[in-house]
Structure 1
Amino acid sequence: MRLDKFLSTTLGITRKDAGKLLKEKRIEVNGETVKNGALKVTETCEVEFDGRPLRFDGPRYFMLNKPSGFVCSHVDDYNPTVFVLFDEVSPEKMHVAGRLDGDTTGLVLLTDDGQWSHRITSPRHYCEKVYYVELADPINEEVVEQFANGVQLRGEKELTRPAKLEILGDNEALITISEGKYHQVKRMFAAVGNKVVGLHREKIGDVELDEALEPGEYRQLTDEEIAAFM
């Protein structure tokens, strides 16, 4: 494919505008600035626009360290969405694979691969998620067994699936769940008479939040991380 056509397709601009970017020396191919729009590029080429990698049509996979106050949707009347944190081409084509509440922080996976995200979100796949929880009141040891047996959430007909609770301190714990009911972790603790005051997702399946990512930062998933859900 010609470079100018590739730029037009991936950036959603005209060939004329692609030519302007080339003249302004804002395009690099395999580490070298390129001004020739007729240059042939293939899927093995590394094309960058202002230092941002551009990819041929194909699925994209990212992890984000979600800060508090951002919602996992494309449109919200009151809060900023996680997609404003992405400096990528066509972020509106991506979706969140496993949402978090606005005040919950931590690991979020985003992609434009629907089948891949279905393996994470579908209840049939029992994909485990690990959360660090801060609570208003001390945790009773009996809650460990209660969660292991499943608890009755208000408005639900069936008990939750068995969950693993690891008490870290008087008011903090790790909880591992394999389903994603609405506000589930908060509702589980409410069901045993406690209140969640802080919630942070650390892990989805075998993929852990990269500790190098500051709140609001993201990176592409590695091939191994992508394959973990295949």
Structure 2
Amino acid sequence: MRLDKYICKSTELTRSEAKRSLKYGSIKVNGAVVKNAAFQVKEQDNVLLNDRELTPIGLRYIMMHKPADTICSNVDEALPSLLNLIEVEKWTELHIAGRLDADTTGLVLITDDGQWSHNVISPNKSCQKTYHVWLAEPIVENVKEQFEQGVQLNNEKELTRPAKLEILSEKEAMLSITEGKYHQVKRMFAAVGNKVVRLHREKIGNITLDEELEPGQWRYLTNDEVDQFH
């Protein structure tokens, strides 16, 4: 890791402030002053800022039970960002791996590991997401087969990828998809003449929303959960 990035990961300093500390000779690596921001810090290196040892914050992997009326954004807009609900250091470095609409609840994954989140959201990875869906109208008989074959969404050139629909009751189902098109679940049901009235994400890949988490609560992922996308 570059030395300036290492400093930022270990302190509240910005990149420009870290470079200023380097310029003034405030940083030592293994006892020697280093002023080169591009210096590569190895795992075993000892880094001091004004003789205080620095330890970088490790990569973080979080699951949250997203409540309604929050947005998957790093900043507040018309509604508050769900990141306001997380109290951790350097929360501004976190991002959401797989967004949900403001009115959709359920499993959200949050991290500062860009490659890991790419494995979650990249269409090429075909990561399955499972949603609990409540509908305005009864589900007609052939919808399951239509979703398995792919449906034509409005303003899309190609059919959706095959999706799995499990019907729970006449107006309730579980839908598993491997894409993440804009408003996809809502648009899929709209394409077959129905309307989603409530939507809740249960699962991403093999990671299932912890049933002990109330809306707005979060926890760090276990090592086994993190490894699902490494």
Q: Which residue in the other structure is 2:82 paired with?
A: 82
d(CA) in 2 for partners of 1:167 and 1:104?
Answer: 20
- Deviation of residue 75 (structure 1)? 1.9
Summarize the Cα distance change of 1:9–1:59 in structure 2 as closer, same or farther, 3 Å threshold.
closer
d(CA) in 2 for partners of 1:11 and 1:68?
Answer: 34
Deviations 1:120-167 (A, max 9, x none): 100000000000000000001210000000000000000000000000
Alignment of 1:103-114 (within 5 A): 103-114=103-114
Tell me which amino acid in the other structure corresponds to 2:71.
V
Q: Which residue in the other structure is 1:123 paired with?
A: 123
Residue 142 of structure 1 pairs with residue 159 of structure 2: no
Provide the TM-score with structure 1 as the length reference.
0.77
Task: Find the residue that maps to 2:72 and give its secondary structure.
Answer: coil
- Deviation of residue 10 (structure 1)? 4.3
Q: Which residue in the other structure is 1:99 paired with?
A: 99
d(CA) in 2 for partners of 1:105 and 1:77?
Answer: 18
d(CA) in 1 for partners of 2:146 and 2:134?
Answer: 18
Tell me which amino acid in the other structure corresponds to 2:134.
E
Q: Which residue in the other structure is 1:176 paired with?
A: 176
Tell me which amino acid in the other structure corresponds to 1:165.
L
Deviations 1:88-125 (A, max 9, x none): 11111000000000000000000000000000100000
d(CA) in 2 for partners of 1:75 and 1:168?
Answer: 37
- Deviation of residue 9 (structure 1)? 6.3
- Deviation of residue 74 (structure 1)? 1.1
Alignment of 1:59-78 (within 5 A): 59-78=59-78
d(CA) in 2 for partners of 1:9 and 1:97?
Answer: 21
Task: Find the residue that maps to 2:133 and give its secondary structure.
Answer: strand
Q: Which residue in the other structure is 1:36 paired with?
A: none
Summarize the Cα distance change of 1:9–1:127 in structure 2 as closer, same or farther, 3 Å threshold.
closer
Tell me which amino acid in the other structure corresponds to 1:205.
G
List 4+ stretches of structure 1 deviating above 4 A: 8-11
Tell me which amino acid in the other structure corresponds to 1:171.
K
Task: Find the residue that maps to 1:225 and give its secondary structure.
Answer: helix
Q: Which runs of 5+ in 1 are unaligned?
A: 1-7, 14-41, 44-54
d(CA) in 1 for partners of 2:152 and 2:159?
Answer: 5
Summarize the Cα distance change of 1:11–1:70 in structure 2 as closer, same or farther, 3 Å threshold.
farther
Range moving further from structure 2, 57-66 or 209-218: 57-66
Identical positions, percent: 58
Count matched residues. 186
Tell me which amino acid in the other structure corresponds to 1:186.
K
Provide the TM-score with structure 2 as the length reference.
0.77
d(CA) in 2 for partners of 1:75 and 1:155?
Answer: 29
Q: Which residue in the other structure is 1:216 paired with?
A: 216
- Deviation of residue 56 (structure 1)? 3.3
Q: Which runs of 5+ in 2 are unaligned?
A: 1-7, 14-42, 45-54
- Deviation of residue 196 (structure 1)? 0.2
d(CA) in 2 for partners of 1:99 and 1:10?
Answer: 28
Task: Find the residue that maps to 1:174 and give its secondary structure.
Answer: strand
- Deviation of residue 77 (structure 1)? 2.5
Task: Find the residue that maps to 1:73 and give its secondary structure.
Answer: coil
Summarize the Cα distance change of 1:153–1:88 in structure 2 as closer, same or farther, 3 Å threshold.
same
